[in-house]
């Protein structure tokens, strides 16, 4: 792929990830968010967070399987977009859903497992977002940086649990996300295993 | 096809001082899992359900079991407008001008025996028109139930319309139950059978998850759902939440039904 095409692709992915937010904004101003706009916004931004996290986690396996470095180049952008959506998600929960009632929020986080998991997932994503720059990779050293960023598997899993715990009955999507995450994590672990490395070296 | 205008009088049992939720939201934001789990699914898919002809079997511990045609049910008692708060177990709420009459009018007609302690309501389960039945969320057909004294309470309403028009399918046409002091799911939709029983019936949500959805399911801000709080609710149309009222604000009328009961145990 030429440098020019790569730039076009980069821009397309960048705009593509922004579209859900733009669409929600459009629906907010045209009154097209349904009977419960707050609920719609919270659900949609949460949904995009987990979609992007899961998509981001598939990029490394994809790069290795395709033996093409292209997918992994989008990892940071996708990850940061996931963080962007989770920030809106959390802000809406704190400011609108809970009306910034600190007492109620603390109680909610401690008492309700789905909120607890959601909050832990968010807290895990914060250091990852902060250390997402090239400078921070250099400062931490690639090895430590990689170790730190493995936390994204934990964050995404907590996100899936958060989702699983809040639905009333229809757990289809939480289970789909869970299955993809498990597969991706399993694949990475298998790749890291000495046996696999030996086999690959032998071949 | 089913948008008929109803003649009605205003009920003294109506809730006063509440702003009505718009017709658009009342008919576009529904939980009716037979048509899918998304709240826009019922409005999108319920149109396929046939509500005429429609009969309701009334059986069990009654002296006069009968199968009534919906047209006859409409004549049991004068249709009233009853404005009630409607509180969903998911912590949102509406204010709906229902049209119907007290369930007690129908109950008195079939003369329950002394053995009748509970009433069970069964909803339509028609796999041809209800795609949601394919998914094993609930043990279909949808069933709900009330204790006899709850069923006889004047606030307990058999609903045939809202906003002065016959019910739209997504709201449970042609006949549904509304029990304003309980969470919305207690109000069975599209009822095909009303059965009088000696024992407490198995009900849909209670069977699916007994630790989360109780048989009584009275609106109670002090008893949280295990996974979310019931202390506050978002009134559809509002941005911020408001406090939830005990018995959904109908405590004065219904609290005596539960005197001496621990509402944390019998949630």
Residue of B92, B139, B228 best to disrupt the A interface, most CBs of A under 10 A: B228
pLDDT at A194: 80
CB contact under 8 A, B29 and A36: yes
pLDDT in tens, A132-148: 999 999 999 999 999 99
> What ipTM does this complex have?
0.83
Q: B118 near B199, Cβ under 8 Å?
A: yes
Q: Using CA atoms in the order B126, B130, B134, B139, what is the torsion angle rounded to 10 degrees?
A: -60
- Closest partner residue to A169 (CB to CB) among B137, B228, B236 is B137
| pLDDT score at B2 | 47
Residues of chain B with pLDDT under 70: 1-3
Q: Which of residues 40-99 of B touch A (CB under 8 A)?
A: 40, 90, 92
| B207 Cβ under 8 Å from any chain A Cβ | no
CA of A165: how far to CAs of A54, A171, B61, B233, in Å? 18, 9, 41, 19
Percent residues over pLDDT 90 in chain A: 83
Q: Give the residue from A33, A167, A168, A169 with the most B CB atoms within 10 Å of its CB, the best one to mutate.
A: A168
The answer to whether the CB of B106 falls within 8 A of the CB of B154 is: no
For A75-107, the pLDDT digits (tens) are 999 999 999 999 999 999 999 999 999 999 999
Phi, psi of A77 (to 5 degrees): -60, -45
pLDDT in tens, A155-167: 999 999 999 998 8
Q: d(Cα B172, Cα B16) in Å, to the nearest integer?
A: 25
**Count of A-B CB contacts under 8 Å:** 53
Are B254 and B155 contacting, i.e. CB atoms less than 8 angstroms apart?
A: yes
B239 closest CB neighbour out of A35, A38, A114:
A38
Chain B residue with minimum CA distance to A99: B240
CA nearest B90 in A: which residue? A168
The residues facing B243 across adjacent strands are: B232
Distance from CA of A83 to the nearest CA of B (A): 24
What distance in Å separates the CA atoms of residue A142 and residue A144, rounded to the nearest whole number? 6
Cβ of residue A130 closer than 8 Å to a chain B Cβ: no
Residues 6 or more apart whose CB falls under 8 angstroms from that of B99 comprise B6, B8, B79, B80, B81, B82, B159, B160, B161, B162, B163, B164, B165
- Give me the residue from B24, B137, B227 closest to A112, CB to CB: B227
Residue A166's domain comprises: 3-202
Around B78, how many Cα atoms within 13 Å sit in the side-chain half-sphere? Answer: 7
Q: Using the beta-carbon criterion (under 8 Å), do A170 and B240 form an inter-chain contact?
A: no
DSSP class of residue A39 equals H
Q: Residue A160: what pLDDT? A: 95
Query: Over 90: is that where the pLDDT of A168 sits?
Result: no
At B85, give phi and psi (nearest 5°): -70, 145
Q: Does B240 touch chain A (CB under 8 A)?
A: yes
Domain covering B9-211, topology: Sulfite Oxidase; Chain A, domain 2 (3.90.420)
pLDDT for A202: 65
Residue B16 and residue B249 in contact, taking contact as beta carbons nearer than 8 Å: no
* 3-state DSSP assignment of residue A30: coil
- Inter-chain touch A34–B229, beta carbons under 8 Å: no
Query: Cα–Cα distance between B28 and B17 in angstroms, integer?
Result: 24
CB within 8 Å of chain B, chain A residues 89-128 = 96-99, 104, 107-108, 111-114
Q: What is the pLDDT of residue B3?
A: 65
| Residue A165 forms contact with B (CB below 8 Å) | yes
Q: Which residues of A touch B24 (CB under 8 A)?
A: 35
Give the bridge partners for B242, in sequence order.
B233
Instruction: Write the CB contacts of B103 (distance below 8 Å, at least 6 apart in sequence).
Output: B151, B152, B156, B157, B158, B177
3-state secondary structure of A78: helix
- Which stretch of A9-18, A191-200, B154-163 has the lowest confidence by average pLDDT? A191-200
Do B185 and B51 contact (CB within 8 A), yes or no?
no
For residues B32 and B27, give the distance between their C-alpha atoms in angstroms, rounded to a whole number: 11
Parallel, antiparallel or unpaired: strands B191-197 and B55-60: parallel
Token digits of residue A138: 């250099």
Distance CA B121, CA B133 (A): 18
Chain B residues whose CB is inside 8 A of the A104 CB are 229, 232
pLDDT the model gives residue B106? 98
Q: Is the Cβ of A47 closer than 8 Å to some Cβ of chain B?
A: no
pLDDT of the residue at A203? 52
Q: Which parts of chain B are beta strand (E)?
A: 9-10, 55-60, 66-69, 80-87, 92-102, 118-123, 143-147, 157-162, 165-166, 176-178, 191-197, 232-235, 242-243
Q: Which of A96, A107, A108 sits opposite B239 (nearest CB)?
A: A96
CB contact under 8 A, B208 and A169: yes
Chain B residues lying within 8 Å of A111, measured CB to CB: 224, 229
Map out the domains of chain B as residue ranges. 9-211
Tally of structural domains, chain A: 1
pLDDT in tens, B4-57: 899 999 999 999 999 999 999 999 999 999 999 999 999 999 999 999 999 999
Q: Do A36 and B28 touch (CB under 8 A)?
A: no
CB contact under 8 A, A170 and B135: yes
């Amino acid at each position: 792929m030429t440098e020019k095409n790569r730039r076009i692709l980069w821009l397309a992915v960048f705009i593509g990830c922004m579209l859900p937010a733009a669409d929600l904004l459009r629906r907010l101003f045209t009154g097209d968010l349904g009977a419960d706009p707050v609920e719609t916004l919270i659900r949609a931004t949460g949904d995009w967070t987990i979609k992007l996290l899961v998509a981001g986690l598939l990029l490394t396996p994809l790069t290795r399987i395709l033996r093409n470095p292209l997918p992994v180049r989008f990892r940071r952008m996708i990850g940061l977009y996931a963080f962007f959506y989770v920030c809106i998600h959390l802000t809406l929960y704190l400011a609108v859903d809970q009306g910034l009632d600190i007492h109620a929020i603390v109680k909610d986080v401690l008492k309700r497992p789905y909120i607890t998991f959601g909050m832990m997932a968010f807290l895990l994503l914060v250091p990852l977002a902060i250390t997402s720059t090239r400078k921070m990779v250099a400062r931490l050293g690639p090895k430590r940086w990689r170790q730190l960023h493995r936390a994204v598997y934990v964050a995404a899993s907590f996100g899936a649990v958060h989702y699983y715990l809040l639905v009333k009955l229809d757990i289809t999507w939480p289970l789909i996300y869970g299955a993809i995450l498990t597969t991706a994590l399993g694949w990475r672990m298998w790749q890291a295993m000495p046996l696999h490395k030996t086999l690959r070296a032998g071949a | 096809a089913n948008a008929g205008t109803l003649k009605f009088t205003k009920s003294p049992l109506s809730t006063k001082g509440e702003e009505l939720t718009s017709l658009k939201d009342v008919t576009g934001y529904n939980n009716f899992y037979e048509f899918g789990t998304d709240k826009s699914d019922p409005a999108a898919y319920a149109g396929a359900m046939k509500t005429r002809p429609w009969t309701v079997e009334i059986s069990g511990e009654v002296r006069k079991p009968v199968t009534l045609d919906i047209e006859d049910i409409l004549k049991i008692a004068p249709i009233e407008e009853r404005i009630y708060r409607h509180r969903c177990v998911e912590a949102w709420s509406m204010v709906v001008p229902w049209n119907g009459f007290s369930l007690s009018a129908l109950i008195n007609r079939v003369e329950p025996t002394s053995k009748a302690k509970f009433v069970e309501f069964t909803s339509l389960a028609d796999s041809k028109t209800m795609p949601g039945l394919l998914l094993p969320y609930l043990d279909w057909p949808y069933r709900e139930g009330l204790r006899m004294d709850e069923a006889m309470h004047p606030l307990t309403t058999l609903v045939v319309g809202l906003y002065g028009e016959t019910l739209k399918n997504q709201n449970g046409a042609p006949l549904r139950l509304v029990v304003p002091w309980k969470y919305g799911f207690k109000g069975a939709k599209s009822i095909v059978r009303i059965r009088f029983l000696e024992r407490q019936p198995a009900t849909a949500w209670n069977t699916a998850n007994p630790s989360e959805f109780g048989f009584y399911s009275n609106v109670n801000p002090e008893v949280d759902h295990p996974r979310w709080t019931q202390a506050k609710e978002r009134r559809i149309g509002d941005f911020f939440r408001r406090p939830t009222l005990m018995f959904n604000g109908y405590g004065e009328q219904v609290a005596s039904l539960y005197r001496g009961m621990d509402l944390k145990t019998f949630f």
